[in-house]
Structure 1
Amino acid sequence: MMNEDLNTIFTKLLSENDALSDLVTDDLIQFGTYVGGQLDILRECYIAFCQNQESYVYQAFLGAPIEINFHYKEDNVIITRDKQYKITLSLENFLIFMGLIDLVYSKILPLGSVVELDTRLFPDQLREMFSHTPGAKVIITGRKLPVADSIGNYVVDYQAQLWPLGGFPPITPMTITNMMIGKVVARGYEDDYEKSFSQKLKQTQLQEKRLSTSFMTKNEAYAFLKKAGGGD
């Protein structure tokens, strides 16, 4: 889809979202579509948010910087760009907003793609495990797996195996999200049939408005991880 089409879809989803519909402004749309065209900004902003950083600043090659300030005690995020705009959202609404950008603008990788994960959000033990390998690489083996509706309207972006070990026992598949992918090392095989199937996956996710599990609330994430770990 062309960027113009994606921008239209994004604007529509914003206006239909229960939490954000009353907060939609031209400035919010402008910021969202700008970030949607440069998804590295979204990932860096998401990481800053998850690490409880005070702010994230993006300096464009041309124009004024975009500054995003996180006020955790006040429960809000303030987005500014010089005198162009100032946007204020609650932390939860900002999480939903990021999720909608990811939903609309992130592309689906083909099966068999090898990606290198960004380890900044990994627990120390997991980061240490990958410190002895040339990058935290995994191979994608599954895509867009819906989460149980009892937890929330979400989707697991990818299922993956450690590369180059694959399904070598006792290694079990892991779930990863777009926000965890630092770099695509090699894309999997693609033909017209695969592209058509990927497009259907994308259309289904858009129609069902399922955000990535990256954008769950803490309670939803806890329930998801408990269920994934075999808990009741």
Structure 2
Amino acid sequence: MLRVNRKKQLKALAMEKIHQLIYSSDSTVPMEFGTVINEFADTFLEDESIFEHLNDAYRQKLASLDLFSQGIDISYRKEHHVHTITYLNQQFSLDDASYVNFLSSSIEIMREVLPLGSVVELDPNFFKPDPSSSKPVKVVIKGRFITPKGYQSYFPYAGVVYPLGELKKDTVIHFTHPLIKSVVHVGYKDEMEESFELLMKKEMIVDKGMKSIEFSSKDMKKLQSEINPKVKAGER
């Protein structure tokens, strides 16, 4: 029951953010698409794979993609930096910035956040502190929703290498969801944890308009320019 209620709460929060993106004073979303976008989100938000596939298509610069969910065909087309989604004989079109905000907000709010104490393996293609080893590094999550000084976006996770821990200052690793290769252990979660997740998503994504660094090309470029060549991602 807790999981069902949590999903409903996350969906309500995502719908609030989408409403904000559509109807805020600085929105560039054409008003005639507002109802269709809301209906699309209301129908498919809980099928997180739809938004992940659309995001992958955007990143890979695909011109088209056909999807299927809940017995409904979904068609994505891109032409001259305009992204059009068609479903149930309805469609809406968004420019690059609005489309990215729509996808990233939906994904971030609906995506599960791992609790403190969880142990994950980071993708060695991006995080490889030991060039001689091809094995993924295990990291224990010790913080979430971290906003580094000088950045306009946040890191979903901060952790320390298992089993060493934080042996010295500045050995904390900051990383994003795509860097997680596998989840080895899930930490303790209760109603307080779920309330914390909702609170942070509300404050950072809805109220402050922030996004995970994975969705910020500006901050991602800044991060990459600061990273030691021997450590290719995730660590500051």
> What TM-score does the superposition give when structure 1 sets the normalisation length?
0.71
Contact kept, 8 Å, 1:160 with 1:174, in 2: the verdict is: yes
For 2:140, the equivalent position in structure 1 comes to 139
Among all aligned residue pairs of Structure 1 and Structure 2, give the percentage whose two residues are the same amino acid.
22
Secondary structure of 2:188's counterpart equals coil
- CA pair 187-26 structure 1, distance change in 2 beyond 3 A: same
- CA pair 79-210 structure 1, distance change in 2 beyond 3 A: same
Contact kept, 8 Å, 1:55 with 1:69, in 2: the verdict is: yes
Deviations 1:44-87 (A, max 9, x none): 322232222333332225222x122334xx11222122x52222
- CA pair 12-79 structure 1, distance change in 2 beyond 3 A: closer
Deviation at 1:112, TM superposition (A): 1.8
C-alpha distance in 2, partners of 1:198/1:224? 25
Contact kept, 8 Å, 1:77 with 1:89, in 2: the verdict is: yes
C-alpha distance in 1, partners of 2:77/2:181? 23
For 1:55, the equivalent position in structure 2 comes to 64
For 1:70, the equivalent position in structure 2 comes to 78
- CA pair 34-114 structure 1, distance change in 2 beyond 3 A: farther
C-alpha distance in 2, partners of 1:162/1:41? 33
Which ranges of structure 2 fall in alignment gaps of 5 or more residues? 1-5, 229-236
C-alpha distance in 2, partners of 1:220/1:42? 22
1:18 equivalenced with 2:23 (yes/no) = no
Deviation at 1:180, TM superposition (A): 4.6
- CA pair 52-17 structure 1, distance change in 2 beyond 3 A: farther
Deviation at 1:19, TM superposition (A): 3.6
For 1:221, the equivalent position in structure 2 comes to 220
For 2:3, the equivalent position in structure 1 comes to none
Contact kept, 8 Å, 2:13 with 2:202, in 1: the verdict is: no
For 1:5, the equivalent position in structure 2 comes to 12
Counting only pairs closer than 5 Å after superposition, residues 97-176 of structure 1 correspond to structure 2 as 97-115=102-120, 132-133=134-135, 138-148=139-149, 151-152=151-152, 154-161=153-160, 172-176=171-175
- CA pair 159-48 structure 1, distance change in 2 beyond 3 A: farther
For 2:210, the equivalent position in structure 1 comes to 210
Deviation at 1:220, TM superposition (A): 3.9
Counting matched residue pairs gives: 217
For 2:85, the equivalent position in structure 1 comes to 79
Contact kept, 8 Å, 1:151 with 1:220, in 2: the verdict is: yes
Deviations 1:1-26 (A, max 9, x none): 52563354234322237344545511
Deviations 1:206-226 (A, max 9, x none): 32221221221x334323443
Contact kept, 8 Å, 1:167 with 1:173, in 2: the verdict is: yes
C-alpha distance in 1, partners of 2:97/2:174? 23
Deviations 1:136-157 (A, max 9, x none): 7643222101244x643x2211
Secondary structure of 1:189's counterpart equals coil
- CA pair 75-7 structure 1, distance change in 2 beyond 3 A: closer
Which ranges of structure 1 fall in alignment gaps of 5 or more residues? none
